[in-house]
Amino acid sequence: MEIFHIVGARPNFMKVAPVMEALSDYQNVSQVLVHTGQHYDANMSDIFFDQLGLPRPDINLEAGSGSHAQQTAQIMVRFEEVVKRELPGLVLVYGDVNSTVAAALVSAKLQIPVGHVEAGLRSFDRKMPEEINRLVTDQISDLLFTPSVDGDRNLLREGVSPEKIHFVGNVMIDTLVRLLPTAERIWPAIHTRLNLNGKYALVTLHRPSNVDSPAGLMPITEVLRDICKDLQVLFPVHPRTRQKLSECGISLDHPNLLVMEPVGYIEFLALQHHAAMVITDSGGIQEETTFLNIPCLTLRDNTERPVTITLGTNVLIGSDMDRLKTEIYNILEGRSKAGQVPPLWDGRAACRIAEIVAARESFR
């Protein structure tokens, strides 16, 4: 049985790595890694193959950037040619990016079975392009691997057949568990190189609602500069965010605010593990901080990962900058939210996926 794994953006790489490794133990399975080229910057893509121990892609569609429609269409056109030629037995898609829904649509129309890793997550906000990708992908997938029990409930409510749904846990945590010891080994060198001298906040921003206009971006950067009097702020800047900062004429010049290029997964994991707090709008980071028991302040009005709030360390801030400052100082004064690790976030999610997939002699 030949399985195609579809990746295209940074979060996909952390999810596919443990699944490919787990499936490599099964002799009846061959694997092909397809990179759509959705992320093509070396700091956002190439470095992750090296650090995660992923093989180089067997196929690179080189779709590149563009509007959501342009990018999705490019991936579909190029992926269709590959699928018609290779006729895989199963296509596994990951997460909620444009590559995910594009590959799922092509496969479903060509009667190729689709498995969705990280199925069932919902923000209930259709203004988010990722929510549309999640909804469409789950409706046309044959196997739905959910990371948390709310995913099962969402799928059942949407009419997905129960036999398609498999609660397996969080594959992102598999990668974190495997590489955390490596992150700890390099931590002393990172600490020295960045000249860290006490508590620090780690910041990531990339969502359009936060970075695409001065009205969204400026209040956040004002808070970051303001808290620099009490702790260091580390800000690895996403290429999209760096461009918007320049276009808006926003300066982040402050001796306690370290603006950095994007870093590799292992370096970022080390920075997360030792942070006093993480301020973010990323979905995956909400999960990682929950597992690491690091306070997380999320600059969004909603999240498709509610388990990080109900069980974990995550607090939704929205666009309320007064609340952001209040929560920052709550953490600094020892009043951070307590959390616990959700069920099946144990580093074995990929093994469960592999068992389910390999037990199927054929998906046709």
Active site (catalytic) residues: 206
Query: Measured between alpha carbons, how far is 47 from 19 in angstroms, rounded to an integer?
Result: 19
Rounded to the nearest angstrom, the gap between the alpha carbon of residue 136 and the centroid of all alpha carbons in its chain is 18
Integer CA distances (angstroms), 122 to 21, 210, 268, 340, in order = 28, 20, 26, 21
Neighbours of 191 (CB within 10 A): 14
Evaluate the CA torsion angle 208, 211, 216, 221 in order and state its sign: positive
Query: Measured between alpha carbons, how far is 58 from 52 in angstroms, rounded to an integer?
Result: 16
Q: Give the contacts of 326 (CB within 8 A, at least 6 positions apart).
A: none
The residue type of 98 is N
User: How large is the angle between the packed helices 171-193 and 283-292, nearest 10 degrees?
Assistant: 80
Pick left, alpha or beta for residue 186 (phi over 0 → left; psi -120 to 50 → alpha; otherwise beta): alpha
Query: Measured between alpha carbons, how far is 335 from 326 in angstroms, rounded to an integer?
Result: 11
Q: Is 217 helix (H, G, I), strand (E, B) or coil?
A: helix
